């Protein structure tokens, strides 16, 4: 993996951990977004990596939002749209990654940070984390997917409330409304994410990829078309060595040894 200034990368047990480290609040400036884009794509292309975790350095912030100084320097429509589309491209890659992506939310998760977390497949939060889309307080709106992913996760009513007030919510409230999957004590977020990643990494790669693909594509289809797509992916898996190993291991009452083929 490459060397970066604002992103630290480590790989263990087939898990890539991408840590955003841009003091004091891990804000998203152009360099950090570019480095995360590069590091994430390296992890995607690395055959030794089966699951990806994204977290923030320290315990104060996951990502506290976009760099306000850079927003202040935007010159107009074309300049602003270019910045927005670059962030959207990165988050779309994350959301559609065939490798599961877990957000280990260690602290404040606002604006672009919350949009990053929502692009991940699973979110684990510190009990001290805070969430929100405060862009409206700056006279703007989310541009990296906040108006699209938030209502898909929470429903329109709750999404409108968060988007139109700019209010922050606690990790416990985020769990209650379905924004995060789990809340753990501060300091245990990365461990919890690693434990979950190890469990997922023990499963067959082909089934993992098929499930992510079926969920993501099915969300954009009618139920009828989604069911047909699911049936196709299921049938394809039934032709794999992993399927035969999984069924045989179940019948023999042992753990399966998947070969990802």
pLDDT tens sequence across 51-84 = 999 999 988 999 998 888 888 888 899 999 999 9
The pTM for the full model equals 0.94
Residues 142 and 211 occupy one common structural domain? no
Assigned domain for 189 exists: yes
Q: State residue 73's pLDDT score.
A: 87
**Is residue 1 predicted with pLDDT exceeding 70?**
no
Mean pLDDT rounded to a whole number for the chain: 95
Per-position DSSP letters for 142-207, written without gaps between them = --SSHHHHHHHHH-HHHHHHHHHH---EEHHHHHHTTS-SEEE-TT-HHHHHHHHHHHHHTS-HHH
**Using one digit for the tens of pLDDT, what is the confidence trace for 71-124?**
888 889 999 999 999 999 999 999 999 999 999 999 999 999 999 999 999 999
pLDDT band at 186 (very low <50, low <70, confident <90, very high): very high
| Range(s) of the domain holding residue 41 | 7-201
Counting DSSP H helices and E strands in the chain, the numbers are 11, 10
- Residue 37: inside a domain: yes
User: Which residues are marked as active site?
Assistant: 115, 135
CATH code of the domain covering residue 192: 3.90.226.10
- Considering the domain architecture, whether residues 153 and 180 belong to the same structural domain is answered as yes
Taking alpha carbons only, the member of 162, 164, 252, 237 closest to residue 205 is 237
pLDDT confidence of residue 70: 87
| Residue of 117, 144, 143 whose CA lies nearest to 130 | 117
Residue 260 inside a domain? The answer is no
Residues 11, 101, single domain; the answer is: yes
> Are 98 and 49 contacting, i.e. CB atoms less than 8 angstroms apart?
no
């Amino acid at each position: 993996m490459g060397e970066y200034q604002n992103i630290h990368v480590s790989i263990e047990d087939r898990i890539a951990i991408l840590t955003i480290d841009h003091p004091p609040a891990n804000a998203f400036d152009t360099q950090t977004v570019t480095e995360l884009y590069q590091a994430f794509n390296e992890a995607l292309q690395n055959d030794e990596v089966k699951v990806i975790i994204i977290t923030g350095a320290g315990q104060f912030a996951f990502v506290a939002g976009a760099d306000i100084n850079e927003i202040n320097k935007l010159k107009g429509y074309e300049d602003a749209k270019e910045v927005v589309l670059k962030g959207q491209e990165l988050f779309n890659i994350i959301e559609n990654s065939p490798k599961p992506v877990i957000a280990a939310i260690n602290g404040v998760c606002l604006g672009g940070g919350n949009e990053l977390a929502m692009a991940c497949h699973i979110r684990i939060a510190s009990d001290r984390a805070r969430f929100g889309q405060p862009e409206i307080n700056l006279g703007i709106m989310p541009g990296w997917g906040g108006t699209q992913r938030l209502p898909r996760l929470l429903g329109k009513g709750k999404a409108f409330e968060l988007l139109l007030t700019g209010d922050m919510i606690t990790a416990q409230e985020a769990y209650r409304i379905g924004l995060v999957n789990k809340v753990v004590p501060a300091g245990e977020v990365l461990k919890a994410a690693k434990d979950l990643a190890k469990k997922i990494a023990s499963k067959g790669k082909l089934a993992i990829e098929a499930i992510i693909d079926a969920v993501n594509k099915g969300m954009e289809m009618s139920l009828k078309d989604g069911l047909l797509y699911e049936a196709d992916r299921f049938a394809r898996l039934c032709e794999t060595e992993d399927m035969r190993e999984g069924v045989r291991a179940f019948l023999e009452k042992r753990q399966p040894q998947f070969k990802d083929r």
